[in-house]
Amino acid sequence: SSPDSDGCTPELEKAGLLNKTKIAEGGRKLRKNWSPSWVVLVGNSLVFFKDPKSQTPSSWKPGNSRPESSVDLRGAQLHWANDLSSKKNVFKLRTVTGNEFLLQSETDSLIKEWYNTIQNVIDRLDRE
Ligand code: I3P
């Protein structure tokens, strides 16, 4: 398990490979287009990178790689969403701006860690 699997340490940064699709932009529904994404949680943001095969845990550092997109977690909402997909282990992340993403992993423990870590960041930002 990761050093932060108990959610008690302040180091909330996390990086890994998840399946991702955006399903809404500004509240407007989009057609699903699932693809693997290198996902990095840093500070208050979830950052997505394309071409995960070329990524390593160090290659997302500023200047080394251009993110595909970035999500501000302040005010965001997280929900398990197995009703929104035929895939297992799916959660939905909705931003304050009405962008919605589904994130998925075949590995139960891995998706639970991501869910808990993202929720911890959202909760911390809610308290600020
Ligand atoms: C979609 C594609 C997605 C699927 C989605 C389909 O078809 O198969 O993988 O989502 O289901 O519409 P297309 O490639 O023609 O766009 P899931 O894998 O998450 O089930 P949906 O429309 O029921 O959401």
pLDDT digits (tens, 9 = 90+) for 64-123: 567 889 999 999 999 999 999 999 999 999 999 999 999 999 999 999 999 999 999 999
Q: How far is the CA of 32 from the centre of ligand 1 (A)?
A: 6
User: Which whole number is the average pLDDT over 12-38?
Assistant: 94
Residue 51 sits at the vertex; the CA angle it makes with 90 and 78, to the nearest 5 degrees, is: 25
ipTM summary value? 0.92
Pocket of ligand 1 (CB under 6 A): 31-32, 34, 85-87
Q: In testing the pocket of ligand 1, which one of 86, 87, 91, 105 has its CB within 8 Å of the most ligand atoms?
A: 86
Point out the least confidently predicted range of 4-8, 40-44, 82-86.
4-8
Instruction: Return all residues near 101 (Cβ < 8 A) that are at least 6 apart.
Output: 20, 21, 22, 23, 71, 92, 93
